[in-house]
Structure 1
Amino acid sequence: MRSDARQKMIDSAVLLFRERGIDGTAFSDVLAHSGAPRGSIYHHFPEGKAQLAREATERAGELMAGLFERQLTAAGPAAAIDAFVAFWRTTLTSSDFEAGCPIAAAAVAGHDTPGARDAAGVAFARFQELCAADLVARGIEPERAASVAALVVSAVEGAVILCRAQRSLEPLERTAAEISRMIGERPELAVS
């Protein structure tokens, strides 16, 4: 079982990475944010920051996949995409466009955190697999479903980056509208 201090550090790292990136977040920042005792960091993360970055990215991936999967199960791809967009809309506005995706932060992190980049690749692949599997279950041909899933994940993640840079929800709103149009206008992508 993981200790409370360890989990708090991982959760704090997720939150800090989405605002500062991995390279811009120090162990001291994680300790201050989590309230964990100073001596616990190397006890819980003997491999150092690379281990914390990897585990925080894995945690962020699990959380986002869970959100996406719950929505898919409940109402299908259109609702899952709406929920994904709503999550980002709330995250961006509540943080005054300071918070982005901690998984994207891991994907572009420095060379000293390859495990975090690998975990980001796994997380993004998982989102695509979830979306594609649901589309296939609804009768979409597997190759097409995989392409649509990659487009959706790439478009929303890219829109989040643009929103932060432009300090506006417009890129996310335009992306969401275009994805909705695409699903609505293409009979083979329509969901019941």
Structure 2
Amino acid sequence: MSPRRSESRDRMILSAAVLLREYGASATSIDRVLAHSGAPRGSVYHHFPSGRTQLIDEAVALAGDFVAGQIDAAMQADDPVEAVDTFVMLWRDRLVESGFRAGCPIVAVAVETNDDAPQLARSAGAVFARWQEAFAALFLRHGLTEERSRRLAAFIIAAVEGALIMCRAEQSAAPIEAAAAEIHDLLLYALRDRPGAEPGLRP
């Protein structure tokens, strides 16, 4: 594949991910992706033989990898509470900077009915599972049980994604800031009560 064709393909996938988070899955059409990316129309079926479904699926994978990278970066912090705080605030800042337009592209795919392309929902589910596994591994390393770690990880992803939707609807950062504060306090209590926790740890 020539460099030009490779760059064109990458631009289309990136544009699809951007459009998903701002407009949703149904509105992320081939025409809109082409207009946003500047890619030539003839490149669509060359790079994506299965058409729009393949393009959206690869955009979901790209967005999932990007956020997973942010989770990995946040988890470099010694304090797991700080790591999660950093992750949630990254979402908050991105949302505010976009004027409350940029939601989560994974949610955009997950919440829409895709009877003709059920693999999209499966792909979105796999991304959420990957994020949850990363957080669960963090909590396990800091002494929580596997069951509690998995529950907390699922709760954090659910709370953040729900807050993002509310923020866009209300045009306000208040929901995700409230979610961040509650997640912060919940983690402090969970870590305080874990086996072997330092006696002086307090929320």
* Same fold, TM-score > 0.5, yes or no: yes
CA RMSD of aligned residues (A): 1.8
Structure 2 unpaired stretches of 5+: none
How many residue pairs get aligned? The number is 192
Shift of 1:132: 0.5
Give the letter aligned to residue 9 of structure 1. M
Instruction: Give the distance between the partners of 1:69 and 1:21, measured in 2 at CA.
Output: 26
Cα distance in structure 2, aligned partners of 1:124 and 1:98: 21
User: What residue in structure 2 maps to residue 105 of structure 1?
Assistant: 108
d(CA) in 1 for partners of 2:155, 2:193: 16
Secondary structure at the counterpart of residue 39 of structure 1: helix
For structure 1, the residue ranges without an aligned partner over 5 or more in a row are none
**DSSP 3-state at the match of 2:50:** coil
Query: Could you tell me which residue of structure 2 aligns to residue 137 of structure 1?
Result: 141
**Per-residue CA distance 1:23-61 (angstroms, 9 max, x = gap):** 011101101111111100111111011111111001100
Report runs of 4+ in structure 1 exceeding 4 Å deviation. Answer: 189-192
1:57-76 aligned at under 5 Å gives the runs: 57-76=60-79
- CA deviations over 1:50-76 (Å, ceiling 9, x no partner): 111111001100110111012113335
Q: Which residue of 2 aligns with 1:146?
A: 150
Query: Separation in 2 of the partners of 1:75 and 1:39?
Result: 49
- Larger Cα Rg: Structure 1 or Structure 2? 2
Q: Is the contact between residue 162 and residue 171 of structure 1 (CA under 8 Å) also seen in structure 2? A: yes
Matched, 1:28 2:62: no
Residue 178 (1) aligns with residue 185 (2): no
Conservation of the 8 A alpha-carbon contact between 1:51 and 1:115: no
Distance (whole Å) between structure 2 residues aligned to residue 116 and residue 73 of structure 1? 31
Q: State the partner residue of 2:49.
A: 46
The alignment partner of 2:77 has SS state of: helix
In structure 2, how many angstroms separate the alpha carbons of the residues matched to 1:160 and 1:154? 10
Contact 2:88 2:160 in 1 (8 A): yes
Pick one of 13, 17, 20 that aligns with 1:14: 17
**1:188 and 2:193 correspond:** yes
Q: By how many angstroms is 1:109 displaced?
A: 2.6
Amino acid at match of 1:118: R
- Answer yes or no: is the 8 Å Cα contact 1:53–1:113 preserved in 2: no
1:117 pairs with 2:121: yes
Secondary structure of 2:125 counterpart: helix
Percent identity over the alignment is 47
Give the distance between the partners of 1:177 and 1:50, measured in 2 at CA: 38
| TM-score, scaled relative to structure 1 | 0.93
Q: Is the 8 A contact 2:133 2:153 kept in 1?
A: yes
Question: Are positions 1:158 and 2:197 aligned together?
Answer: no
